[in-house]
């Protein structure tokens, strides 16, 4: 009990030092979904969304700080205020829109792709891996196939490589990156169209911030820098 009171008192006092600091926007990402976002060999967050986020912050004249959070709790931690923005390859869907708000999409809706070790796998009756809480997991669950879910994108690929799952369903750009890293893995079946494009997730009560990022995304669409960045990282089709 004493410890509780002591730490409460400490918490009340701590932070006074930073009280005058300029408001910083904290950007939450997963850091495990190349080429969208990943931790590079120097241990820093890197990828398409790192470059995009930094550019958007510059245009919106915001000071931004990057935060890594695992995918499972990425929405709860946004609404409880641990960071202010989700920028993690998150597709805009109706279910998510009920809990948080989205900026306009920064990549267009793109097909998701199946990948497997064998071209003849049964995509509607076999075992398909997908990441927990993604649009792909929702799609597989309804397709008639047996869905196996994993907490991280990397594990979905590993499940196919070690035979635990017949195929994996994920964003096309992630699948292509995985194919480059794993010999024997190939695209199978037809791509499926899911989601309404990828946008930044922002608290529903944070309309100002959303407007700033919306304007910044629009300016990058208008001057062509967004398309150039999409092409550089090969994350999706062009606007």
Partner 1 sequence: MGPVLGDKPIFSYCSDPSVLEGLSWVSCYLTNGKHLTAYTSFGTVLLLLAITAPLALALGFAGATAARSNVLPLSLLGKGYTAIVRGVPDIVFFLFFVIALDQGLEWLRHQALCPDWSEPIRQGNDFIVCDRAKLPLNSAPQWVHETYGFFTAVFTFAIVFGAFAANILFGAMRAVPHAQLETAQAFGMTERQVFWRILVPQMWRYALPGLSNLWQILIKATPLLFLLGVEDIVYWARELGGSKGPIFDYPHPDWRRWYFLALLVFYLLMTWGSEKAFARLTRSFSHGQNLSPGKVN
> CA distances (Å), 53 to each of 30, 61, 82, 239, in order?
14, 12, 18, 18
Q: Binding residue for partner 1 (CB under 8 A) from 74, 157, 198, 226?
A: 157
In three-state secondary structure terms, 175 is: helix
Locus of tokens 């992630």: 174
Q: Give the three-state DSSP class for 224.
A: coil
Number of residues engaging partner 1 in binding (CB under 8 A): 57
Residues 6+ apart with CB under 8 A from 6: none
Q: Does 42 bind partner 1 (CB under 8 A)?
A: yes
Q: For residues 188 and 20, what is the distance between their CA atoms, to the nearest angstrom?
A: 55
Q: Tell me, residue by residue from 95 to 134, as one string, x for binding to partner 1 by CB under 8 A and - for no binding.
A: ----xx----------------------------------
Strand pairing category for 45-46 and 37-39: antiparallel
Q: Which is nearer to partner 1, 71 or 139 (CB)?
A: 71
Q: Which is nearer to partner 1, 54 or 204 (CB)?
A: 204
Residue 65 within binding range of partner 1, rule CB under 8 A? yes
Which positions touch partner 1 (CB under 8 A)? 3, 7-8, 11-12, 14-15, 18-19, 21-26, 31-32, 34-35, 38-45, 63, 65-70, 76-77, 79-82, 84, 99-100, 152, 154, 157-158, 161, 177-178, 180-183, 203-205
């Amino acid at each position: 009990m004493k410890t509780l009171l002591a730490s409460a008192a400490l918490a009340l006092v701590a932070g006074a030092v930073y009280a005058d600091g300029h408001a910083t926007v904290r950007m939450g990402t997963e850091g495990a979904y190349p080429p969208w976002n990943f931790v590079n060999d120097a241990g820093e967050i890197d990828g398409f969304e790192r470059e995009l986020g930094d550019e958007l912050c510059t245009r919106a004249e915001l000071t931004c700080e990057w935060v890594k959070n695992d995918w499972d709790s990425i929405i709860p931690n946004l609404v409880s205020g641990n960071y202010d923005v989700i920028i993690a390859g998150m597709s805009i869907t109706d279910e998510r829109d009920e809990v948080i708000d989205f900026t306009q999409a920064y990549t267009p809706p793109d097909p998701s792709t199946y990948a497997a070790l064998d071209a003849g796998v049964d995509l509607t009756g076999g075992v398909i891996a997908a990441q927990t809480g993604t649009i792909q997991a929702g799609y597989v669950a309804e397709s008639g196939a047996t869905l196996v879910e994993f907490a991280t994108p990397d594990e979905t690929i590993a499940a196919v490589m070690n035979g635990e799952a017949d195929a994996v369903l994920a964003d096309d750009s992630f699948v292509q990156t995985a194919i480059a890293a794993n010999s024997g893995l190939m695209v199978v079946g037809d791509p499926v169209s899911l989601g309404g494009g990828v946008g930044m997730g922002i608290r529903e009560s944070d309309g100002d911030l959303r407007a700033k990022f919306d304007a910044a995304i629009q300016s990058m669409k208008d001057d062509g820098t967004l398309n150039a960045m999409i092409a550089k990282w090969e994350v999706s089709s062009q606007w």
